[in-house]
Structures are given as C-alpha cells and as structure tokens.
Amino acid sequence: MESTDVGLFLVSLFAGAIRCGTPIAFAALGETLSEKAGILNLGIEGLMLVGAMVAVAVQVETGNLWLAVIAAGLSSAVLASIHAYVAVGLGGNQVVSGIALSLLGAGLSGFLGRPYVGIRFDGIGAWTPPLISDLPVVGQLFASQDPLVYVCVVAAVGISLLLFHSRFGLYVRAAGEDPQAAFAQGVPVHQVRVIAVLVGGFFAGLGGAHLSLAYTHLWAERMTAGQGWIAAGLVIVARWRPAAVLAAAYLFGGLTVLHPRLQAAGVSFSPYLVSMFPYLGAILALVLATVASRGRGPILPAALARSFRGAWS
Amino acid sequence: MAATCNGTDDALTDSMSVPPPVIRLSAITKKYGTTMANDCVTVEAYSGEIHAIVGENGAGKTTLMKILAGIERPNSGTISIDGRPVSFRGPRDAAEAGIGMVHQHFSLVRALTVAENLALSDRGGGFLFSAKRYARVLEAQARSLGFELRADAPVWKLSMGERQRVEVLRLVLRGSRVLILDEPTSVLAPHEAEVLYAHLRRLAGEGHTIFLVTHKVQQILAAADRVSVLRRGRLVVSHEAHGLDETELTKLMVGQALPAEGTREPSKLRDDVALRVTDLSVPAGITPLGLSGVSFEVRAGEIFGVAGISGNGQDELVAALVGTTAFKGTIWSASPLDKVAYIPADRLTMGVAASLPLEENLALRRYRMPGLSRGPFLRRKAFRVFSEQLIADLGIVPSSPLLPIEHFSGGNAQKAVLARELAENPSLIVAESPTAGLDIATVGLVHRLLLEQAARGAAVLLVSEDLDELLVLADRILVLCEGRFAGVFPPDAGARIEIGLVMTGASGARREAADWGKPQGISA
Amino acid sequence: MIARIARPAWSHWLRASAIAIGGAALALSVLLLMVGRSPAATLAAVFLNGFGSQLAWVETVTRAVPLLLCALATAIPARAGLFNIGVEGQFIAGAIGATSVVVLGPNLPAGLMLPAVTAAAMAGGALWGWLPGLLRGLLGVSEVLSGLMLNYVAIFLMEHLVHGPWKDPHALGWPYSIAFPNAAVLPRLGQTNIHLGLLFGLALTLAAYVALRSTTWGFSVRLTAANPRLARRAGVRVGLLIALTMALGGAAAALAGLGEVSVIQGRLRPGLSSGLGYAGFLVSFAVANRFEFLVPATLLVAGLYTGADALQLTAGLPSATVDIFMGVLFVATFIAQEAGKRRGDG
C-alpha cells in the first residue's frame, strides 16, 4: 500500500509543480522570443504584475474569464511597447529601459489595482480536456489542471515551431544573431524585433493572469514577488529553447511546492537554500554558454542587448 | 575603346548591327572632395564574359563597381543594360535590374545554416518554413549550377571559400545576371581560389556576366576574358586577356617607373639591429592564410617596407609585433615590445578612444609617468602643455584639446595617433597603412614624420599596400605572398615591376634574398 | 559642425531632464484625473511633504542616504563601461556581512564592534560585486545577467539565515536575527535616523569624482570604458580593473545595507531592501552616471518618495503612486536622452 501513497504523493507533487510553474513558464517563453530577436527585456516583473492586475480587474468587472485573460496579455503588450520604442525605435539601452519598465509596471498595477485588493473570486477552475485523462501518468498529471496550463503547453510548442519552423522565426533568429547581416539580406530587423518584444510582453501578461486568476485567486500588490526575474534566469538555464524553458519552469514550480509537502511528511531542510539553485544554475549555464559561444556554435543570441541603428527602410 | 568625355559616343551607334553589351558604363566620373576616384571611365561587358577590373590600391576599381551595384552614385556618366540607359537610386534598384555584388566582408549570419541564410533573402514561400526541405531544394538547384553545397551546415563551420560560394549562389538564385566580386580571392587559400574560378567560368558559360575586382595577375590571365586596367582613377586600357602576359599587365597596372618625387637614395644601413624576427609563424585566423616561417632583420635608422596584397600575412605580422596574437618563432627587439610605437590601420577601433577628448588621447601612453602625473594624481596643467605642444607641432585642427576625438576628421585623428606614438621617442615604429584615406597634405606630413624618425635612428616597419609609397620611403622592401617570405628588394625603379610580380604571385621563383641585402633578409 | 557638438554635454542633459520631468508630471496628472484627483494640488502636496519643512527634509535625507550609496554602486562600474545591476544583492550581502559579526562575535570589545561590522559589510558587498566582475573580466560573461541572478542568491541566503541558523530564539517565531547591540549601530545625527552612511556617501561621491577626473586610476577607468583594446595596449590590466570597479561598487552598496540593517531595522530581516538597489541603478543612469549630479538627483528622488508616502496617509492615495511617477520619470528621461543623442548624431 505504501507504494500507492508514494505514487499519489508524486502525482500531486508533479501536478502542483506544473500549476505553480505555469506563470513563470508563460513569462519565460515570451522572454525567450524577445531575447532570440536580440532584445533583453528586464521589465518582465512589471509586465506580469500589470497582467495579473488587469486580469483581476476585468474578471471582477465583467465576469468574463477569457476576456480577462486576453485583456491581461494585451495590456502587458502595450506596456512592453515602451520597451520596444526605447530599445528598438531609439536604439537605446535595453538594460536601463527594462529596469525602469519593471518599476513602472509595479507602480501602475499597484495604483490601478487598489480597488481589487483582497477581493476573492472563483477565477479559473479545473478543466479536464477530453482524452487526456485516459493517458497513463500524463493523464494523472494533467487531469484537472486549469485551461491556461494547457494553453501554456500549446504556447511552448507553438513558439518552438514559430522559432524553428517558420519564416518569421528565421527572421527573429537572424535579427538576434547578426542584425547587420540580416538587414543586408532584406530582413526587416526593426519590425521583427518590435513584434518579438510585443508578443513577449503578451505572454508575460498571460503569466500574470494565470497567477492571479488560477493560482492565488486574488490580487495583491507586488504579488509576483520576483517571478519575473526568475523567468529571465530560466531562459538562460534552458539555453533559449522553448521546450527546455517549459521543463525548467515546471522544475522550479516543483521546488516551490516540494517543501511544504516534505515538511508535512516530517522531512526538514531549508527551502531557501533550495530556492537558490535555479539562480546558481543560471549563472553556471550562463558561464558555460558564454565560453561555448566563443568561436564555435553560438548558444547565446550573439546580438543580445546590442542595439541596431541600421537605416529604417 | 578608349573613352572620350566630350560628347560623341561611337559604341552606341554600332549597337544597331551587333547585340549591345549587357553592361555599358559610359564616361563615369566620381569625385570625393577633390579626389577623382573615377575620371571618365568607360567599360563594356558582354554576356558570358568574365571581366577583370585591375589596378593598384586606390585606382578606383571598387568605386566603379559600387556605382554599377547602385551603392554609389556617379557625378556624371551613364549606365546602360542591354543598350537601355538605367539609373539606380540604391542597391535595391540594381538588384532588380539583375546586378549583384559580393563584398569583401560577407553578410552571412554565422549561427544560421546555409539554407536558412539563403531563405532570408528569398521573398517567396509561405509562413511555414522547413529548413530541411529548403536545404534539399537548394542543394538540387546548386548542383544544377555546378555547386556542391552543404546546405544543412551552419555558416560558422564553413571555410571562407565555402562562404563565398554561398554568397555567389545567393545572387544567382535571386536572378542576378551580372555578378560583381570585390577581391574575391583575397580571403581564400589558393586551392579555394581555383574552385571559385571554376564556378565563375561555368556561370559565365551559362550567360552570366562577371566582374572581378582583383590584383592577382596570374589568376586574372587564367580566368578572365577581358581586362580593364585602371590607374589613378582613369582607364588605362580595356583589352582581351588573351595575348597579354604577366609582365605586360603588371606594367600597365603599376605604370612605368616615375622617379618624380625621387625614390629615396638607399642610405647605408647601420649595423645595429633594432628588430630581429626569426621563423615567425601565426596560425590562420585573422586572415585565412596566416603567416608561416618569416624571418628578417630591421636596422636602426631604417624604413623597412612590407609589401603585399592585403590579406597575405601583413595583419598577422603586425599583430605578432604589437602583441595581440599568439605566434611561434622568436621576435627580438632592441627595446621592450611594449615600447613599440604602433600606428594601426584601423584608427577608430585600435588607434583612438573615440569618446575621450583629444588631450587625453594624446596622453594615454604616458599618463602614469612622472611629468603627467604626480603620485596617483594627474597633472592637468602638464596634460595641457603636453597636448598643446603636440597639437601645434602636427597642426591638428581644430586645436581644441577638450573636444572628443570622435568629432575630428580622419586625417586629424591620424595626426593625433602619430603625435601620441612618436612622442615616446620609440626605437621601433610599426606603421600600418598610415596614409590610407588621407588627403594629400596629411600624407605628406606622415611621410615627413616617418623619415624624420628614421633619421633620428628609429627603425620603422612600414606596412603598405601602396607600392609607390614604399618605393618613395623605404630603404628595403620585404614582400609577403600567401603568408610567406617572398623576397627583400631595394626600392629602385627597376624593382617595381619585379615586386609587383612577386607580390601577386605571378613570379614563380621567390627571390631568396640572395643577391641583395643578404645579411638582413634570411628566408627560412 | 564643431560648434554644435562642442556644446557642453550637461546642457543637453539638463534639457532632457526638464522634458522628462514635464512628461512624467503630465502622465501622472492624467492618472490622477482618472481617479478624480486634482493633479496640481496633489503634486504640490508631494513637494510640500517632501521638501516643505525641517521634518520633511530629515525624512528625505534619511531616504536619500541608501539611495546615494546604491547610485554610487552603479556609477563607479558604469564609468568603466559596466552595468552593475547586482546592487540589490550587494546591498543584502553587506547587511549579511554586518550581521555575521553581531551573530558570530557578540563578545567583541565595544570599540572594535563598529569597525568590524563595517569591514564585514563592505567585504560581503565587495565579494558580491567582484564575482560578476571577475566573470566578465576573465571570461566575458555578461555582468547584467550574472549580477541579476546573484541578487536572488543573496536574498535567499538572507532568508535562509534568518529562518534558520541566525534566527533569534526570542523573536516569537519571527524570522529575525538578534538585534544589533548599540556598539554595532552606525552613529546617527541627534534623534534622527540620518546616520554615518551620509558621510560615507558624500565622501565616496567626492572621492569618486576626484579619482575619475584627476587620478591615473580614473584615467584608466575612463579609457577602459572608451576603448578596452587600446586600454590594454596602454598597459591597463582591463580584467582586473573591471573586477575592481565592481567590487568597489559592491562595497558602496554594502554601506547602504549596513545602515539599513543597523540603524533603520536594527536587525537582519526579510524585505530589507525592497528595490533600493534598482532605484539607485536608475537614478545613476538617469544622470548618465555623473558623480556631480548624484547628490541632487538622489535628494530629488528621495524627496518625491517621502512626499508621496505622506500623501498616502493624508490623501488616501496608494503608495504605488510614487512608483508610477518614478517609472514614468525614468522612462521619460531615457527616452529624452536617447532621442537627444539621435538628433546629435544626425
């Protein structure tokens, strides 16, 4: 009988990991797209907060969940357009602009979200898509997740396909590796980079929406508590590959949900030291990627965070 | 065939009977400031022709081709395609008219595969894109044109020759009938150059017109159908390649020796060696050829010229001397190598700190020495006195010590580099194309300064692609070809043709420094 | 052409700032109108609460001290061409370093306590800055990404310590370290919370200003930022210099952390920094990392925070109001700077 307990424990752990990792996964997927195009967006934290707040506001005001989710994505994309303007339009400093955006997003969401603080609502509930629950293992993990979890998996596959199997994705990678050469070959580098930043912002907004509508079921000021920065780290750990980004986010979610469960089971260790691992892992991955990018095949988008001021045409 | 700039154009009237040339550049004139880059040049090329545009550095070859490719616009003159005059507002117009150019610096994205790179400029196709499938189509297309292609390979894994073939192939696939290649073999190892020429031959056979801008006499005679020789912006002759020989062509390129400004009287060499390079090798990397087994000595008080076509080992030699690359062999210098004065070819990235003011650029080699500093502190007043002296000595304009150097003209930035490096009274000076792109007055100043330094007793290693400059300034001239020692020559009028032949690889027999200057030039 | 370019850079900067502040005020006005407040009255109240009285000034200066130190932590490496985004982590590492002395050596003689605490704080911050500097100088690893990650390593290290080994058993279960003994607290000015960090900040600003302009070391720093390859040829050990400026920045941030943990909070506890590092980073870049502008800029920003906080109490506006104002202010500043640069180019 004990093996069944362990099985149940693992299933609930993994299911929790997926649910907890999904907001970060959304944001990290968006950031992957943006960084692949050569634009580092450190404003994710602010973008997620705006998404989370708008999602709650629209849900409370209209009661329409899907409208809330779409509105969250769109409002974050609008905020990301500031970064697109500074980083792409003006060729300005991406680091500084991203940090400022983060602050602005936190402020805007705090200010406009004040009427919604503490309001509880049903939010997005569980939904089991047909067929999934019949699958072994996967069925148990994904059964009774909320629909945005599935959207996130589909998004990961979609972004992967977009990057590596579409013409637009080809343009994105070219713009992130060598904007001069790409421009010389007729790729509309500026437009491609702007679109990547806006879509990246949209996904950060979806991450925020999942956090507030499906995970916590409430809005609180600064409720992302650093998840946007984690997303930036996971992109590095995953070496800019969407599938690996998804896996890394789930792993991170797992670490987060593991602790209270183990504590309940009588095992005790410092959750804070465990929480460090993703960041230490990101630093290690960054060092390896940088060293490996020398002379051999590039892993880091070569033009990441470099502005390109080629002529508009 | 020679062009006349005043009026009647005979060739066009003939075009009633014979098919007109695919390309006709008529009386093209292009001025940069007061310099005539192209002075009334007329060139015609026909379908299926490989047309070499040859001439020394600064003869106006690249300018002429950039005009044809729509990158530059001529001050006067016309371009016609198939007998119809056209006017290009930019490279895009030229591309639409079927003219494409491969530049010396390739525009391929290193991280992407060949297929992905070629897809970037392919405007056809839907939203979805399969690199694998595209690669197969591409390989088939390439094969039909005679190219063997690894379309799945990322560009960073390709050799320079393969990258170049990808560029050529891209132009052909995009429908270019006229291909322009600027110094295509300068980055290629010899066997790769042969492969390239075989491809070009085949493309010409299929009706393409190919312009080759190059120095390499031997290869021109083997590959080209017609040769147009430019010298100092003017067309010297446009002639069928058949019937020309190497010596004749070299003479046309470099001109008959003109001792006008007086080649320097080869002064008696002093005995003290300032620099001894023994069996110096640098692996390929900076350029594809690298440097192999070069030995020579430079005496104090001597200007030692280094001649050769760009990319034949000069960059490696200089990098080894100034300590920016690893090398094998030995470099012995009478003074410590970090005291070497270095006048780099690339002023903006190696010569100056663009955002810092002029006076700090002038002082950056000695700001920690007593005089400009006291203890940990800079002596600002001494900075000012020091820099104003140099500004006055070299006539740097504007004479504002606090203006960031990025706002100075190229000539004045170069003066600042010279002033800074020479202020250290170096015993060895490495000058890399120190007059490239400068106006005549500044060129004169640079020459005077180098001669003064030699007279003072410094050894000057002068790398230049401008043979005239070397003949005027140098006491001896080392020639590098394909990364190897190719001889040391005196700068007399008779050596001009011979140097030209040796540096283009036309002269099979390398001069082993046997008959002249034997103790100085020891070939490995 | 020369005349146009030769115009001093600060006039360009001043104009950009004026445009930015105007833009930020305008944007905030729109938001205030949206929630039915009078923009003019609100903005006036912010200024009055931030700068209108002695009490306001005391609070503003108190807030300006850590901000100034964090801005310095950004500006010093920035003048060597680096982005020290790890200020937040260096701030916390400094606080951890200071606390380590209090926790591990509580029996140190009182006279040694303060020097030991200060040295340990600076060592912690310097280490946290040196690491990304070393990776950058040695291997070319982006100091932006590694610094960002190290921020969280510091945060979780702090959380681990106050929840675990350093937890005060008498804190009724709260995740706090033991309180700093008086001997370990930075001296303050009278009854205020303005502490010795102010002098550190002013002295460091002045020293950095003088060092950058007037010392050979400062020349090496500027040369490295302008052209690292040329700097190397001129004999500058670029890798070492990069690591050193980052370590210096970290030490400055650590002094802010020391002030916060010893004076303001009195103990190590979670939520110690709440974004001061990022705010300092933005302030520094908003004045193009120029030391001569750091003090007025930090005073202005600290005053706005103070004023907006008071507003929260009196007018019932959320504290996030000031974040919006700051966010818009910084974004507008960077836009104005970049747009100005572009006009200059063209």
Q: What pLDDT digit, counting tens, does each position of B192-211 carry?
A: 788 888 899 999 999 999 99
- Which residues from A are below 8 Å from C340, CB to CB? none
Share of chain B above pLDDT 70, in %: 87
Q: Hey, which residues 78-137 in chain A have their CB within 8 Å of chain C?
A: 82, 85-86, 90-93, 95-97, 99-111, 114
User: How many whole angstroms separate alpha carbon C323 and alpha carbon C303?
Assistant: 13
The token duo for B158 is 């390709």
Q: What is the pLDDT of residue C190?
A: 85
Top mean pLDDT of A289-303, B481-495, C187-201 is at C187-201
Other beta carbons within 10 angstroms of residue B392's beta carbon come to: 10
B121–A298 CB contact, under 8 Å: no
CB within 8 Å: B367 and C216: yes
CB atoms within 10 A of CB C213: 15
How would residue B519 be classed by pLDDT, with cut points 50, 70 and 90?
Answer: very low
HSE on the CB side for C6, CA within 13 Å? 11
This complex has an ipTM of 0.87
Q: Write out the DSSP string of chain A.
A: -HHHHHHHHHHHHHHHHHHHHHHHHHHHHHHHHHHHTT---TTHHHHHHHHHHHHHHHHHHH--HHHHHHHHHHHHHHHHHHHHIIIIIS---HHHHHHHHHHHHHHHHHHHTGGGBT-----S-----TTGGGSSSHHHHHTT--HHHHHHHHHHHHHHHHHHHBHHHHHHHHHHH-HHHHHHTT--HHHHHHHHHHHHHHHHHHHHHIIIIIIISSB-TTTTTTHHHHHHHHHHHTTT-HHHHHHHHHHHHHHHHHHHHHHHTT----HHHHHHHHHHHHHHHHHHHHHHTSSS---S-TTTT----PPP-
**Cβ count near C10 (within 10 Å):** 14
In the stretch 207-246 of chain C, residues with CB closer than 8 A to chain A read none
* Whole-number pLDDT of residue C4: 36
The predicted pLDDT at position C345 comes to: 40
Q: Which residue of A has its CA nearest to C35?
A: A112
Asked if residues C90 and C73 have their Cβ atoms less than 8 Å apart, the reply is yes
CA distances from C41 to A272, C27, C32, C49, C309 (A): 46, 15, 10, 12, 15
A38–chain C nearest CA distance, Å: 14
Neighbour tally for A220: CB within 10 Å:
17
Q: How far is CA B500 from the centre of its chain?
A: 15
Unique residue bearing structure tokens 């702090």: C158
Q: Cα separation of C143 and A198, whole Å?
A: 26
CA–CA distance, B398 with B412 (Å, rounded to integer): 8
Look-up of token digits 């390649």: B241
B433-465 tens-digit pLDDT: 898 777 777 888 999 999 999 999 999 999 987
Q: Of A168, A177, A297, which is closest to B109 when you measure between CB atoms?
A: A177
- Cβ neighbours of B360 in C, within 8 Å: 219, 222-223
More confident residue, C156 or C16: C156
Q: Which of B107, B110, B129 sits opposite A165 (nearest CB)?
A: B129
Mean pLDDT of A99-120: 91
Pick from A153, A155, A161, A172: which is nearest to B128 by CA?
A161
- Contact at CB, C216 and B373, closer than 8 angstroms: yes
Per DSSP, B493 falls in state T
CA dihedral C141, C147, C148, C153 (to 10 degrees): 120
Instruction: For residue C6, give Cα distances in angstroms to B353, B354, C334.
Output: 17, 14, 22
Among chain B residues, CA nearest to A179: B109
User: Cβ contact (<8 Å) for A287 and C135?
Assistant: yes
End-to-end CA, chain A: 69
Structure token pair of residue B428 = 């060895």
Closest residue by Cα to residue B446 from B454, B458, B435, B436 = B435
Looking at the complex, does the CB of residue B493 fall below 8 Å from at least one CB of chain A?
no
- Residue for token digits 């007025």? C296
Which residue among A164, A169, A181 places its CB closest to the CB of B109? A181
Q: What is the mean pLDDT of residues B350-365?
A: 92
Q: Which residue has tokens 């960059």?
A: B315
Which residues in C174-208 are b (16+ Cβ under 10 Å) and which e?
A: ebbbbbbeeebbbebeeeeebbbbbebbeebbeeb
Calpha distance A169→A184 (Å, rounded): 18
Distance, in Å, from the CA atom of C90 to the CA atom of C96, rounded to the nearest integer, reads 10
Sign of CA dihedral B393, B396, B398, B401: negative
B117 reaches A (C-beta below 8 A): yes
Shortest distance between the Cα of B344 and any Cα of chain A, in A, equals 24
* Average pLDDT value for residue range B383-403: 91
Measured CA angle at B288 (ends B284, B290), to 5 deg: 40
**Number of residues that this document lists for chain B:** 524
Q: What confidence category does residue B187 fall into, taking pLDDT thresholds of 50, 70 and 90?
A: low
Which comes out higher in pLDDT, residue B59 or B73?
B73
Band of pLDDT at residue B44, cut at 50, 70 and 90:
very high
Phi-psi region of B53 (alpha: psi -120 to 50; beta: other; left: phi over 0): beta
pLDDT tens across A208-263, in order? 999 999 998 999 988 988 899 889 989 988 989 999 999 999 988 888 888 777 77
* pLDDT value of residue A213: 93
Structure tokens belonging to residue B192: 């790769």
Q: Which residues on neighbouring strands pair with residue B479, listed in sequence order? A: B307
Residue B238 is encoded by which pair of tokens?
């446009």
Instruction: Say how far apart CA C115 and CA C103 lie, in whole Å.
Output: 15
Q: Where are the alpha helices (DSSP H) in B255-379?
A: 314-321, 358-363
pLDDT of residue B265: 55
C206 touches B at CB < 8 Å? no
pLDDT reading at B102 higher than 60 = yes
Using CA of residue A188, residue A191, residue A197, residue A200, what is the dihedral sign?
A: negative
* Cβ–Cβ under 8 Å, residues B217 and B501: yes
Q: Could you tell me whether strands B428-432 and B341-343 are parallel, antiparallel, or unpaired per DSSP bridges? A: parallel
CA distance C126 to C245: 9
* Tokens at A103, concatenated: 């602050």
Q: How far apart are the first and last CA of chain B?
A: 47
Best residue in A161, A162, A164, A167 to probe B by mutation, most B CBs within 10 Å?
Answer: A167
Q: Does the beta carbon of A239 lie under 8 angstroms from any beta carbon of chain C?
A: no
What is the C-alpha to C-alpha distance for residues A92 and A10, in angstroms, rounded to an integer? 48
Indicate the average pLDDT of chain B.
Answer: 83
Note whether B44 and B11 are within 8 A (CB).
yes
Residues A293, A286 contacting (CB under 8 angstroms): no
pLDDT tens-digit map of C190-240: 888 899 999 999 999 999 999 999 999 999 999 999 999 899 888 899 999
d(CA A16, CA A23): 12
- If contacts are CB pairs under 8 Å, which of residues 300-319 in chain C contact chain A? 318-319
Q: How far is CA A25 from the centre of its chain?
A: 4
CB contact under 8 A, B129 and A170: yes
Could you tell me if C330 and C286 are in contact, meaning their C-beta atoms sit under 8 angstroms apart? yes
Q: Given this model, what pLDDT does residue B506 score? A: 61
Chains contacting C (3+ CB pairs below 8 angstroms): A, B
- Distance (Å) of CA A298 to CA A193, B157, C37, C47: 19, 11, 53, 51
Mutate to test the interface with A, among C87, C148, C155, C337 (most CBs of A within 10 A): C148
Residue C182 has what DSSP assignment? G
Both structure tokens of B420: 């800074």
Size of interface A-B (CB pairs under 8 A): 65
Mutate to test the interface with A, among B109, B133, B138, B167 (most CBs of A within 10 A): B109
B524, B295 contact by CB (below 8 A): yes
CB within 8 Å: B403 and C5: yes
Answer yes or no: are the C-beta atoms of A95 and A305 closer than 8 Å. yes
C-alpha B176/C-alpha A236 separation (Å) is 42
Which one of C32, C88, C142 would you mutate to disrupt binding with A, by most A Cβ within 10 Å of its Cβ? C142
Task: Look up tokens 């065939």; give the residue.
Answer: B1
| Pairing relationship of beta strands B209-214 and B50-54 according to DSSP bridges | parallel
Contact A280 C279 (CB under 8 A): no
Give the mean pLDDT of chain C: 88
Is A280 in Cβ contact with C149 (below 8 Å)? yes
Instruction: Tell me which chain B residues have a C-beta less than 8 angstroms from the C-beta of A298.
Output: 110-111, 156
**Unique residue bearing structure tokens 């990246």:** A200
Give mean pLDDT, residues C53-76: 96
> How many whole angstroms separate alpha carbon B188 and alpha carbon C323?
58
Nearest to C219 among B350, B354, B367 (CB): B367
Residue B506 and residue B250: Cα distance in Å, rounded?
A: 9
A259 touches chain C (CB under 8 A): no
Residue of A nearest to B153 (CA): A297
Check residue B77 and give left, alpha or beta (phi > 0: left; psi -120 to 50: alpha).
Answer: left
Residue type at B40 in one-letter notation: C
Answer whether residue C124 shows pLDDT above 80: yes
* Residue A210 tokens, joined: 């999942």
